[in-house]
Structure 1
Amino acid sequence: MHIATRLVRLALVLAAVAVLSFALAKSSPVDPVNAYLGADIARAGPEQRALIAARWGLDQPVPAQFFHWLGNMLVGELGYSMTYNAPVIDVIATRFRTSLPLMGLAWLFSGIVGFALGILAGSRPDSWVDRGIRLYAYVLASAPTFWIAILLLTVFSVGLGWTPVCCAGPIGVVPEEVTWLQSLHHLILPLAALSVLGVAQIALHTRAKMVEVMQSDFALYARAQGASRREIAIRHGARNAAIPALTVLFASLGELFGGSILAEQVFAYPGLGRATVEAGIRGDVPLLLALALFFSFFVFTGNAIADIVYRVVDPRMDGKLLR
């Protein structure tokens, strides 16, 4: 019953995302035909423009375009991307393979580092360590991702020359010939820029829970029994603080995609984020809709996984989640 309910919710979410995304895409002032022609727009006559519009189905009424796309999507046909001149499914698969190491490692690092900093700060509230971590978290939480990316690029790539300026591999080298060391070298700065936002939020939420635990009655009783602050933090605080940390971590999947769009744009990293920007600029409706559905499905799945993890961390929540 619980699984069926989640599947119904997923279907409703995807349906709402599809309708809203299509409506927003069609409300855009970008003319897909003009964007497709690019520099050749002055040489294209009315007949050629009409042929292009007919080729992409843009000459049909908007409701007809939507139901045509919906019917194709239900049978697994996501359409053809005007931006990349390739099937949408191939574009997403290729770009996702590039974005997965970036977003996956950023998500993992932000969770581990943020949780560790939150435990460290919350176990000693109002100490110099706590003040330093809070200052670090507040500054990073209020700093835009694109600004941090530009700052890192200016210092480490332009100023010091330690890291590449752009891309997922050396310029002029085909992706198949890029070594994993070269990929890692190009991944460092985008990964650092994307990890910053998640670290700050998780650290602050974990710290708040840790302070509450360290001031609770059972923590005071444990200290009266001779337990050290470190033992209380590890045995009791970490387990209780894991729930809000996991909540923020999985809830940040949507922000992770948003941050990847900005980071990939700054570093010219050829992932899903950059593909989203290109699709928006060129009015590539099939690719935009597929990306919106893909992101929604990914975030929904992450939240579902979070429920499973909650039960492992705290079995007492199992009954609450099933209701």
Structure 2
Amino acid sequence: MLNFVLRQIVRFVLLMLAVSLVVFALVSASPVDPVQANVGQAAVIGMSDEKQAQLAAYWGADAPFWERYLNWLIAIFQGDMGTSLRFNAPVADVIATRALNSLALMAIAWVASGVLGIVLGIVAGAFRGRWPDKLVKGYCYLLASTPTFWLGLVALMVFSVWLGWFPMGFSAPVGVAASEVTLADAAYHIALPALVLSFSGVANIALHTREKLVDVMESDYVRFARARGEGLASIVRRHGLRNLLLPAITLQFASFSEIFGGSVLVEQVFSYPGLGQAAITAGLGGDASLLAGIALVSAALVFTGNLIANLLYGAIDPRMRLRAGEGGKRAGGGRAAERNGADDADDAGRGAALACERVRHRHGERKRSGGGTEADACEGARMKGEPHAE
């Protein structure tokens, strides 16, 4: 497990270095003047060409690409990400201030979308082909095809303008100092943006959970459980949840990039002071330092979500670690696993056979509604040696 964790951390570091290289290359290739990015457009207008050349040499703007990249990377490791011209403050301070607002917004939306998506997926999968399934699928398809900014505008118009249930935007009441903002005020202002943002991640989780539950409900051990008279709720709880929660949680962590991408638009619509609104302001204003810093922070957040998903998957499912190269003595371990698997299959087959005898004695050879007899279902489960037969 330790090797697997170290391998994932090294992968995270390499991805961050690759992102930093791409970000710096894009900023260097942009039409933004390095001197103007450091002193501002107003100062450059009245500056002579000689002075601009001196400043460019002072900041190393005429140095080779790799030298400038290494200097920039070293400065970032030292905590110096430059100065934002739009906010007239260090980039690190601007990101730190607005990252708290964005993280609170995304965390609430992320949890809400995961819980709602899993619940809707379970309902749709349990009632496959019936009206709850059709209703959930239609709802998910509608959400997946609806732009986040349009949904935010509609929610703002309905719940803020017409009904007046929520404020028009911002993260605090207008005219109130930050030190005087209460937790109730912050929750009141974040509720509607978080609700809109959570809708962007519901569709994928719900549809994926539904498909996984449908596969479980069509398995042989579920057919055998039905033959024993087990109810739908018990089947979903005992056999469904244990098989679908891990993929759903993994997908939820991997979908953090969608939540972050949607937060950029939601923050702009609701005038919410977060990283998304700061990124749009930096892009429109040519603030290269702030834009590069936000790009690095956003990549770190997305990669962190993927890293947590991989670590959870590896901790719960040992096959993930084996595929990643962990296991040491694979040949001996593989043979031992095959022997243990064969023994387990034999034990499960004997247990299934005993259960089938009880079913035949209790129910006889009655025809099941799905076709075939209960004895046939028992025989199929016994031949496969399903571990969930009992």
Q: Same fold (TM over 0.5)?
A: yes
Amino acid at match of 1:70: L
Is this contact kept in 1: 2:251–2:309, CA < 8 A? no
| 1:69-88 pair list within 5 angstroms | 69-88=72-91
Amino acid at match of 1:204: L
Distance 1:113 1:303, change over 3 A: same
Aligned equivalent of 1:268: 271
Aligned equivalent of 2:136: 133
SS for the counterpart of 1:300 is helix
Aligned equivalent of 2:281: 278
Which range moved further: 12-21 or 240-249?
240-249
SS for the counterpart of 2:268 is helix
Deviation for aligned residue 1:52: 11
Q: Distance in 1 between matches of 2:297 and 2:226?
A: 49
Q: Distance in 1 between matches of 2:207 and 2:54?
A: 52
Higher relative contact order (CA 8 A, sep 6+): 1
Is this contact kept in 2: 1:137–1:200, CA < 8 A? yes
Q: Distance in 1 between matches of 2:310 and 2:121?
A: 22
Is this contact kept in 2: 1:239–1:313, CA < 8 A? no
- TM-score, L = length of structure 2: 0.75
Alignment RMSD: 2.7
Is this contact kept in 1: 2:23–2:295, CA < 8 A? yes
Q: Distance in 2 between matches of 1:57 and 1:307?
A: 41
Is this contact kept in 1: 2:23–2:292, CA < 8 A? yes
Q: Bigger radius of gyration, 1 or 2? A: 2
Is this contact kept in 2: 1:111–1:249, CA < 8 A? yes
Match of 1:242 among 242, 245, 260: 245
Q: Distance in 2 between matches of 1:137 and 1:119?
A: 13
Amino acid at match of 1:231: S
Q: Distance in 1 between matches of 2:6 and 2:317?
A: 24
Is this contact kept in 2: 1:114–1:202, CA < 8 A? yes
Is this contact kept in 1: 2:149–2:265, CA < 8 A? yes
Aligned equivalent of 2:365: none
Deviation for aligned residue 1:60: 3.7
Is this contact kept in 2: 1:250–1:303, CA < 8 A? yes
| 1:1-323 pair list within 5 angstroms | 1-30=3-32, 33=36, 37=40, 44-47=45-48, 50=52, 57=59, 59-61=61-63, 63=65, 64-310=67-313, 314=317, 317=320, 319-320=322-323, 323=326
SS for the counterpart of 1:157 is helix
Is this contact kept in 1: 2:250–2:310, CA < 8 A? no
Unaligned runs of 5+ in 2: 327-390
Q: Deviations over 1:47-96 (max 9, x none)?
A: 49939965993854472543321121233322222222222221111111
| Fraction of identical pairs, as percent | 44
Q: Deviations over 1:97-117 (max 9, x none)?
A: 111210001011111110011
Deviation for aligned residue 1:302: 1.8
Distance 1:269 1:137, change over 3 A: same
Amino acid at match of 1:207: R
Is this contact kept in 2: 1:30–1:281, CA < 8 A? no
Is this contact kept in 1: 2:37–2:287, CA < 8 A? no
Deviation for aligned residue 1:8: 2.4
Q: Distance in 2 between matches of 1:68 and 1:289?
A: 15
Unaligned runs of 5+ in 1: none
SS for the counterpart of 1:46 is coil
Q: Deviations over 1:260-296 (max 9, x none)?
A: 1010011110011111112222222222222222222
Q: Distance in 1 between matches of 2:75 and 2:289?
A: 11
Distance 1:220 1:169, change over 3 A: same
Is this contact kept in 2: 1:121–1:129, CA < 8 A? yes
Is this contact kept in 1: 2:250–2:312, CA < 8 A? no
Q: Deviations over 1:117-174 (max 9, x none)?
A: 1011101101101110110011001111111111111111122222111110111212
Aligned length: 321
Q: Distance in 2 between matches of 1:53 and 1:181?
A: 49
Is this contact kept in 1: 2:40–2:85, CA < 8 A? no
Distance 1:53 1:271, change over 3 A: farther
Distance 1:217 1:13, change over 3 A: same
Is this contact kept in 2: 1:307–1:321, CA < 8 A? no
Is this contact kept in 2: 1:242–1:313, CA < 8 A? no
Distance 1:140 1:36, change over 3 A: farther
Is this contact kept in 1: 2:37–2:85, CA < 8 A? no
Which range moved further: 304-313 or 164-173?
304-313
- TM-score, L = length of structure 1: 0.90
Q: Distance in 2 between matches of 1:313 and 1:137?
A: 29
